[in-house]
Homo-oligomer: A and B are copies of this chain.
Amino acid sequence: MRVSPEPAYADIEAAAKRLADEAVVTPLLRSRALDETLNARILIKPETLQRTGSFKFRGAFNKISRLAEATPRPRAIVAFSSGNHAQGVAAAAAALGFPATIVMPADAPPIKIANTRGYGAEVVFYDRYKEDREAVAGGIAAERGAALVRPYDDPDIIAGQGTVGREIAEQAKSRGLAPDIALVPCGGGGLVSGTALALTQHFPAIRIHACEPEGFDDTARSLARHQRIANEPGARSICDALLGASPGEITFPINDRLLAGGLVVSDREVAAAMAYGFRVLKLVVEPGGAVGLAALLARKIDVAGRTVVLVLSGGNIDAEGFAKIAASAR
């Protein structure tokens, strides 16, 4: 019997139990200023405040917890990541007693490289535009008896990220709110697919949108055609966390079934959203974490009178880089 690669809601509940003493239950915030600007009720889920500065810790900890119980137990962990999955895996591996090696692009943000090393992992660089990171990581895994922890195409990763949606549902319900719409940043689709599995369980009519930067709108285009379409090579974006090549094999069928569609924002709209986040919300949001806010502020979707979940997925950017981007938005 072939086991479905998709996690079930029960897997998200199990992940929530594993994460209970390890992950931050990030708050569900409200901003009167943002609500007034959009004439809507915005429920902000700041995964910027999560351990390691992004939601990625959730999936990584869930996955590595399961590897820790596996037979044979792997000797080490290896992962490839532009930076947030790197930090999540490094911190989760350390917490669970595994040595970790992370394959990162040489042009990853310095704060993400420094933090990954800070959590005790070894960092190996590759060239984002020339080398195949999966091949580099796979070679290391074979050599060291390490388990490869993929960034999104893994049911345990998706279930871990799904705890974001489960928390949102509980927090919204405890305030008597039923969201109509959700906006979730999307790279490979792990966060949005997991969140969609959880949110639709509680709010079947909710319309969930994957948010992506221009040039990396593979999920938006794939959702429109109901088939996986890759990005054109050579595109650039300030959203370093969302530069994947194509929708995931496991994540896309979930998203195709559960999502209303995709929203696409420009780097300029992202920069404006980051500046707004700083000035009005008082939150540090990195480019890839701000695509949902950018979609709202740039009116990519009509939310008037609606209750809207907005996930801010990460905040790993240094003050200099932030100031440069915020200045570009003026």
Contact = CB atoms under 8 A, between A and B. Distances in A.
Contacts of A24: 29-32
A110 to B, nearest CB: 11
Nearest to A282: B315
A23 to B, nearest CB: 10
Contact of A327 (B31, B320, B326): B320
B282 A282 contact: no
Given A275-B319, A322-B319, A48 B111 contact: no
Given A319-B322, A319-B326, A326-B319, A282 B32 contact: no
A153 to B, nearest CB: 28
Interface residues of A, number: 29
Contact of A282 (B275, B284, B326): B284
Which of A30, A111, A319, A327 has the most chain B CB atoms inside 10 A of its CB? A319
A283 B322 CA distance: 13
A279 interface: yes
B323 A282 contact: no
A282 B322 contact: no
Contact of A111 (B279, B284, B318): B279
A27 interface: yes
Interface string A38-75: 00000000101101010000000000000000000000
Interface in A299-321: 315, 318-320
A33 B94 CA distance: 14
Overall SS of chain A's interface:
helix
A156 B27 CA distance: 29
Nearest to A54: B282
Contacts of A30: 24
Contacts of A29: 24, 27, 49
Nearest to A24: B30
A27 B167 CA distance: 15
Interface in A272-307: 275, 278-279, 281-285
A31 B23 CA distance: 10
User: Which 6 A-B residue pairings sit nearest by Cβ, starting from the closest?
Assistant: A323-B323, A27-B27, A282-B315, A282-B284, A319-B326, A48-B282
17 contacts: A24-B31, A27-B29, A29-B49, A32-B51, A33-B51, A46-B282, A49-B282, A53-B282, A278-B284, A278-B319, A282-B284, A282-B315, A283-B284, A319-B322, A320-B323, A320-B327, A323-B323
Interface of A: 24, 27, 29-33, 46, 48-49, 51, 53, 111, 275, 278-279, 281-285, 315, 318-320, 322-323, 326-327
